[in-house]
Chain A
Amino acid sequence: MTLSEKITTAPGAHATEPAGARRASRADRRRARRSREGMPVGAGRSRVAGGLVLLGLGLFTLYSIAPVWWLLVSATKDQRDLLHSNGMWFADFHLVDNLEQVFTYNDGIFFRWLLNSLLYAGGGALVCTLIALGAGYALSRFRFPGRGAALGAVIGSFLIPYAMLTLPLYLLFSRLGLVNTVWAVLIPSFISPFSVYLAKVYIDGAVPDELIEAARLDGAGELRIFVQIVLRMMTTGGATVFLLAFVQNWNQFFLPLTMLRGEEQWTLGLGLYAWNAKRDEAEIDLSALVLTGSLLSIVPLAVFMVAMQRYWRTGVTLGSLK
């Protein structure tokens, strides 16, 4: 959108103002933005450009959403319609049957996987966030010997391939008798260098040194300062760290695949993978089961992410600043 269009599309706002005043107040800018809202584009040549922009956006939206739409539609179909009906539109509505099948197949193991996934993602992320906030606070607000080396280790560890950690961890855990328990997945997810880095960056920006000094002068102990001041000021930052850790844990596959043998401890991803693998061997075709299960496994994360939009938006952009 060009300057001239901005002026023509905002009659009240700009007609009376000289062009130089535009950079002025925030209210002004908001007004200018509002004038652009919902307006494809004004005049002549730009209408073509605006059309192209919308076309491009439409195509990208289609590309992003159509496969998910297909999954949603497929989850409502029975085995026969999956094969014979149009994939992009509904046939007979069998969603309830499919859901029932998913949750009762193999004594309701799917529900167990769902709970496991929530435990690994939620529990893991919660502890991870607390540990990371502590470490981030120490790295951000204290000067102690070895601090530089510690920070270097945190950032350097981003480059370590996960297979290089997971395989020796497997051997280590099997000596400790932890393999095939929930701890084999939980313990590694407690420790996330990226979360520590993120927490440090947040505390750098959000917790002023003066405040901590003032609390110290008032005689507050270090632990009390951390719990009552830093943690409280870090609710937004902490939520972002938690959210990103949650997503990371919810998505992990290699670690549970390596550590867990018995299906009682499996995650949703692992379970669906196994169902898909035995799809061909089983007497009944598990396609409908896998598809409905896949859809179900998306729902918690999608709800969670949409609800917490404002946290991950800042988190991802912050991560890009390193």
Chain B
Amino acid sequence: MSTTMSTTPVTGEPKGTAGPRPGHRHRPRWRTLRAIKGASFAAPFFLGFLFVFVVPVGYAAYESLFSERSSGLGIGGQERVFVGLDNFTRGLSDGAFWASMARVLAFACVQIPVMLGLALVMALLIDTLATRTAHRFRLAFLIPYMIPGVVAALMWMYLYSPRLGPLTDAFDVLGVHVDFYASEMLWGSMGNLLTWHGLGYNMLIIYGALLAVPRELFDAARVDGASELRIALTVKVPFVRGALVLTGMLSIIGMLQIFNEPLLFRQVAPETVTKNYTPILMIYNQAFDANDYHYAAALSILLALVVGAVSFAFYKLTNRPQA
């Protein structure tokens, strides 16, 4: 059993290593045998990976090349037609799709820097505390992260609700009337929700990076007479740059795939949160509302390409050698 399964991960043999091929007998047999046994530990995962990752991606690519043409009221069933790259050309020129992409990216440009900036301040503040106190604050800051995304969104929808929530009343007391579901406020409402939910996790990563910095460095700066603020800005921040790049990258990838929050806000403000509001919302509606699965598959491939391109660009941009 294990030997048959072990063939799965052995794909695309690298040139350098001698595999168990005839003609390469100079390698001891027991080592080959061990490699096979070792690889078989990975077999369950890669079999599953094939089934849950590779096949679906291939299937999506395949399906995106077809289209359904209905033959009158769908009584005679629908006809499958090979259309080549038509779905992609349609997707590339689909204003609604790219508008959703631009909407999300523009939102990301505001929300992510705000969230990461706040998370950085949080981490720097915690870092000035003694270890045990720091741990207590860290746990408090992480409470939002322990709440499932859907539940967090539901909760904030109630908090924003003019009927039930305390926020509208609180702002009224201050003399400001805020409608959190008005179209111009909606991204702000959603941004606050995402920031609230994501702060703790990002703080944790940044704080983890801060802890890895040798403390002697700060002491040295202190001996030289640098103020704490100066140390934070010129010593600590450069050291957590890597963590900021990472959290930024993860946030962008997550943001391009935002779905839960707009889906829920759509229940309250359907005029603003249209069914094409974000890329995945549009893909979901194409697949399950419009039943145009083939087009949805093409759009999801386009989205994957954009995610890859944005990640690559971000990586290139942040990994420039420093002057």
Does A associate with B in a complex? yes
Residues of A within 8 A of B (CB): 1-3, 22-23, 33-34, 36-39, 46, 49, 53, 56-57, 60-61, 63-65, 67-68, 70-71, 74, 82-83, 86-88, 131-132, 134-135, 137-139, 141-150, 153-154, 157, 159-165, 167-169, 171-172, 187-188, 190-191, 193, 196, 222, 226, 250-251, 253-254, 258, 268-270, 272-273, 276-277, 287, 290-291, 294, 297-298, 301-302, 305-306, 309, 313, 316-317, 319-320, 322
Describe A's contact surface by its main secondary structure: helix
Q: A163-B257, A291-B158, A320-B205 are in contact. Are A143 and B296 (CB under 8 A)?
A: no
Contact, CB under 8 Å: B48 / A61: no
Complex contacts, B12 vs chain A, CB 8 Å:
146, 149
B77 within 8 A of A: no
User: How many A-B residue pairs lie within 8 Å, measured between CB atoms?
Assistant: 290
Contact, CB under 8 Å: B283 / A167: yes
Contact, CB under 8 Å: B311 / A131: no
B144 within 8 A of A: yes
Contact, CB under 8 Å: A132 / B45: yes
Residue of B nearest to A50 (CB): B128
Contact, CB under 8 Å: A167 / B297: yes
* A206 and B14 alpha carbons, distance in the complex (Å): 28
Complex contacts, B53 vs chain A, CB 8 Å:
157, 160, 165, 191, 193
Contact, CB under 8 Å: B52 / A287: no
Contact, CB under 8 Å: B304 / A161: yes
**Central interface residue in A22, A53, A132, A250, by most chain B CB within 10 Å:** A53
Contact, CB under 8 Å: B303 / A164: yes
Q: A3-B223, A38-B130, A168-B57 are in contact. Are A320 and B13 (CB under 8 A)?
A: no
Complex contacts, A298 vs chain B, CB 8 Å:
146-148, 151
Complex contacts, B159 vs chain A, CB 8 Å:
67, 70
Complex contacts, B243 vs chain A, CB 8 Å:
320
Residue of A nearest to B231 (CB): A2
Residues of B within 8 A of A (CB): 9-14, 17, 19-20, 34-42, 44-46, 48-49, 51-53, 55-57, 59-60, 63, 118, 121-122, 125-126, 128-133, 137, 139-144, 146-151, 154-159, 163-166, 169, 196, 199-201, 204-205, 208-209, 211, 216, 219, 222-223, 228-229, 243, 246-247, 253, 256-257, 259-260, 264, 267, 280, 283-284, 287-288, 293, 296-297, 300-301, 303-304, 307-308, 311
CB distance from A303 to the nearest CB of B (A): 9
